Amino acid sequence: MSAWKETADGVFTRRFEPVNVTVTAVLGGDGVLVVDTRCSVQEGEELRAELAALTPLPVRWVVNTHVHFDHMWGNAAFDVPLMEPPAEFWGHRDMPDYDPDDAEFAELRDMLLREGGPEWKPKLDALVIRKPDHLVTASHALDLGGRVIEMLHPGRGHTDHDLVLWLPDAELLIGGDLVEQSGPVAYGSDSFPLDWPATLAALAALTTEGTTYVPGHGDPAGRGFLADSREFVTAVAEQIRALHADGVPADAAVAAGSWPIENGSHFTSAVARGYAQLSGTLP
């Protein structure tokens, strides 16, 4: 667990284990806005304590960049009865629900218990999923008290509901898992690899040469980092299109492709999603 770093004036970032998620705290005149809340209610309570040590300002807003567990399962720590008054919870309109009876949820739970170690059982037993109820479609400007932060949906990429936050006064963009610094971006079962390059192009058009980009995992970085990320996702999208055009079957495409990193298995979901989009089975 790292210490808080003042990445811009009144903007603090910190990396937390497990999964090396990056949390951002934005200080405004009326309170603190927190971007992403870690992997469990217990971890969310730890985060709340760390924020209290950072600033006496109350946490008034929580924003989730997307629905994945490592970014929003700590939300309930900022809601009643654990925190009063509660924070406002913000996210994108298309964030899906977690259904405890859904097979995908059960698979995720089993994976965490299997791979995460014994500490995950009490975390999962105490899990309360608090989804955002302040929903953004394309954009929304939120006044934190003399400081405005813009929540934007730049397009599909890591998911179809990625939300980024732009602070014009600090030239800082909080990008969630559309950009990752501690490793390559993650292509999951809900990603859109063919759309991802255009989405990062939209972020480049929104921001400036002096912008600092805060990733969902890893350390803040500059404009060159965004350019490298665009190059990476573009190479993946072009490879998927080429393999599909050449008639390479989906189950052989990962082995047949030439990918921007050596571990081709990283692109299994990317190929599956890209092929589905090209064949019309994925809108």
The number of folded domains in the chain is 1
Of the CA atoms within 13 Å of residue 256, those in its CB half-sphere come to 15
Q: How remote is the C-alpha of 63 from its chain's centroid?
A: 10
Is residue 253 assigned to a domain? no
Structure tokens at 57: 């300002």
Range of the domain at 44: 5-225
Is residue 135 assigned to a domain? yes
Is residue 252 assigned to a domain? no
Is residue 11 assigned to a domain? yes
Domain of residue 118, CATH code = 3.60.15.10
Of the CA atoms within 13 Å of residue 53, those in its CB half-sphere come to 8
Is residue 201 assigned to a domain? yes
Task: Using the Cα atoms of residue 29, residue 2, residue 123 and residue 162 in order, give the sign of their dihedral.
Answer: positive
Report the SS3 class of residue 258. Answer: coil
Is residue 85 assigned to a domain? yes
Is residue 32 assigned to a domain? yes
Is residue 246 assigned to a domain? no
Tens-binned pLDDT, residue by residue, of the chain (283 aa) = 679 999 999 999 999 999 999 999 999 999 999 999 999 999 999 999 999 999 999 999 999 999 999 999 999 999 999 999 999 999 999 999 988 788 888 889 899 999 988 889 999 999 999 999 999 999 999 999 999 999 999 999 999 999 999 999 999 999 999 999 999 999 999 999 999 999 999 999 999 999 999 999 999 999 999 999 999 999 999 999 999 999 999 999 999 999 999 877 789 999 999 999 999 999 8
Give the residue among 145, 150, 157 at the shortest CA–CA distance from 216. 157
